[in-house]
Amino acid sequence: MTSSAPAAPERSHRRAVKAGFAASVGTTIEWYDFYVYATAAAIVFPRVFFPDAEPTLATLASFGTYAVAFFVRPLGGIIFGHVGDRLGRKPALTITLLLMGVATVLVGCLPGYATIGAAAPILLIVLRIAQGLAVGGEWGGASLMAVESAPENYKTFYGGFTQLGNPLGALLSSGAFWILSLMGDDVLFSWGWRVPFLASIILIGVGIWVRLRIEETPVFEHLGESATTPILHALRFNWYPILLGFGMVAIASGGYYLATAYVQSYATSEEIGLAASVILGAMTIASFLEALVTLPLAWLGDRWGGKMMMYLGVGLSFLCSIPLVLSIEAHSVALIYILVCAIRVTMSATWAPLSALMSQMYRPQARYTSMSLAYGVGAAVWGGLSPIAATSLQAGTGTVWSVIGLFAFLSVVAWVSTALAPQHRDDDIR
């Protein structure tokens, strides 16, 4: 038997813009839902769901429910990666968006510990697991939707549309909580925290409508065949680039959550005592700036190389972390705003090229599964454990400089993994 090579995929700017827009809308909604939970876990949930625990333990318990979603991400990547590799990127992405939205709305309806006791945090964990499964299958598929539809020399730019969803989701989330915090703690901790969760139902309707109208990616259409069991193909042939992909996201995931969830928790802790409105205001403005620079940085990634952007982002974000900690300890509000914005902008250089870099690390036959698995495991280890590790390190050593050491370790891992990562062209479909 003989088989002819499939026709070259049709990739145009028109198709790439349409796919990029759909990817950005979907990931904005997914990340909004995810960051709403992250913000609530840092500021609200310790009081609402763990009111009887000592403050540090309550924060750790709250971050524990936050981390649960990261540990089921790889499972979500395997489940939806199988759908995406076998049936197409489009159906997998529609399901993930719907699952995330339902789980988020239900969190907003959940009674607190004072109402139903221990059942409250248990149900919170169940819904967080659903969120984790959805995000585990979302990012890889959305990245492929944008990158596989893009012309060869513009893949980083169009992949940046997927990455745009992260700062836009964070902007909507922190902005919502910032407005609620200005109404006072009584409003925020009684009923106000539920509003951002319940508002997700509107966003989900918009996202589903957009995703049902997009085309399948040209790479999937012309692949001709995919792995019968994508996870087995991925583990057999892609284990090395999966390992490197795991390391690449150390700063983009772990460092990012140190700069967001941990910083919010640290700044509003009893030890520091900053008002929640201060740090939420800084995070909101930083998210806006991050959204502004994501596509320009992705465009530069096509000119300078995605790896060069990654190196710059890793190094500069680490340098920004030191004065940020000092400004928080000094209660210097102006510097806090400046440095929170600075670290988020520099970290964007690790995030903007990530979709294209990781998409091109794997050949198409089990690409969705391979990419989602690498990112999901990386997010579980680096993103899920970083806030807990940082809180524990600070409590154990008595100094926040141990957290800076953790950031330095993550930077080295990301730098080395990026340097070793392979790159493949979509023209080589087989």
Per-residue pLDDT, averaged over 109-136, amounts to 83
Gyration radius of the chain over CA positions = 21
Helix pair 239-249, 367-378: axis angle to 10 deg: 40
Per-residue model confidence as pLDDT tens digits over 191-243: 888 888 888 888 788 888 888 888 888 878 777 556 678 899 899 989 999 99
CB contact at 8 A, 198 and 108: yes
Angle at alpha carbon of residue 417, lines to 237 and 339, rounded to 5°: 140
List Cβ neighbours of 299 (8 Å cut-off, separation of 6 or more): 156, 157, 160
Per-residue model confidence as pLDDT tens digits over 15-49: 888 888 888 887 888 778 777 877 777 777 777 77
Specify the higher pLDDT residue, 110 or 413. 413
> Does residue 7 have a pLDDT over 60?
no
Per-residue model confidence as pLDDT tens digits over 332-376: 899 999 999 999 999 999 989 999 999 889 877 889 999 999 998
Which single residue is written with the structure tokens 């004065």?
323
Per-residue model confidence (pLDDT) at position 174: 75
CB contact at 8 A, 430 and 5: yes
Domain boundaries, given as residue ranges, for the chain = 13-420
Maximal C-alpha separation, the chain: 73
pTM above 0.75, yes or no: yes
> Whole-angstrom Cα distance, residue 48 to residue 123?
13
> Does residue 10 have a pLDDT over 70?
no
Per-residue pLDDT, averaged over 147-154, amounts to 87
Helix/strand/coil for 424: coil
CB contact at 8 A, 251 and 416: no
CATH superfamily of 13-420: MFS general substrate transporter like domains (1.20.1250.20)
